[in-house]
Amino acid sequence: MCGRFALTATPDAIQQAFDLAVPPVGLSPRYNIAPTQPVAVITNENPHELTFHKWGLIPSWSKDPSVASRMINARSETAADKPSFRTALRRRRCLIPADGFFEWQTRDGDRVPLFIHFQGRPVFAIAGLWEVWRGSEGDEIRTCTILTTEANAFMRPIHDRMPVILRREDYNEWLFPGEAAPSALQPLLRPCDPAGMMAYAVSKLVNRPGNDMPEAIQPA
């Protein structure tokens, strides 16, 4: 699964990495992004613009927006069959920029948080799905979820799942603006190449969502 991540790259770096029309506005470094918080996304509705969605998918048909806290991840192997995710997979896909994510590893009976990133910490894209939920009084909430897959060789000693990290050459296919057949998308939803992946233990500051500070990603 993926329950925390970071995005500390500059707006100019994000514009270049994702071919945005302009550098994103209102984007500050985030060191400990947690579920139910706003996250930066690039949707297939506006593939050259960065917007913000709440992390935790609320299906458009849901009567209870509190389900968002249980919808932070979607298993890529079964998303096409799950009522909560199957329509979004066909029609509403997004990139979620990140430059690292966290996972907890059990060591001597203790759960140790690790910060996982790529050498040099370049920004990368996690595959996501997005939705628009409208309440009875006309209020609108835009939400998203992170797709996960089985762990690659680097992640396997840490956890059996990891986020789907897309290759740059696959961004356009993932952000295809129309409806896409799940069978055509499935080849993209695979464990990423482990080359260049790195991990180190960090402070348990990251355990608290309110600790969104540089110290959260510093080596313990």
- Residue 115 is assigned to a structural domain of this protein: no
Would you state the pLDDT for residue 108? 87
Contact in structure between 14 and 23 (CB atoms under 8 Å)? yes
- Residue 206 is assigned to a structural domain of this protein: no
End-to-end CA distance of the chain: 23
Q: Which domain holds residue 171?
A: 5-101+121-194
- Residue 204 is assigned to a structural domain of this protein: no
Q: pLDDT class for 18, splitting at 50, 70, 90?
A: very high
> Whole-angstrom Cα distance, residue 121 to residue 114?
15
Which CATH number belongs to the domain containing residue 81 in this structure? 3.90.1680.10
Q: What is the pLDDT of residues 78-131, one digit of tens each?
A: 999 999 999 999 999 999 999 999 999 998 889 999 999 999 999 999 999 999
- Residue 34 is assigned to a structural domain of this protein: yes
* pTM (2 d.p.): 0.96
Total domains in the chain come to: 1
- Residue 170 is assigned to a structural domain of this protein: yes
- Residue 78 is assigned to a structural domain of this protein: yes
Say whether pLDDT at 137 is over 80: no
Q: What is the pLDDT of residues 115-129, one digit of tens each?
A: 999 999 999 999 999
Phi, psi for 219 (deg, rounded to 5): -60, 140
- Residue 29 is assigned to a structural domain of this protein: yes
- Residue 182 is assigned to a structural domain of this protein: yes
Reading the block at residue 74, the tokens are 């979607």
Helices of type H across 58-141 = 86-91
Mean pLDDT (the chain, rounded): 95
Q: Which residues carry out catalysis? A: 2, 103
By DSSP bridging, strand 165-166 and strand 124-134 are antiparallel
> Whole-angstrom Cα distance, residue 3 to residue 112?
14
Burial 17-43 (b: 16+ CB within 10 A, else e): bbebeeebeebeebbbbbbeeebbbbb
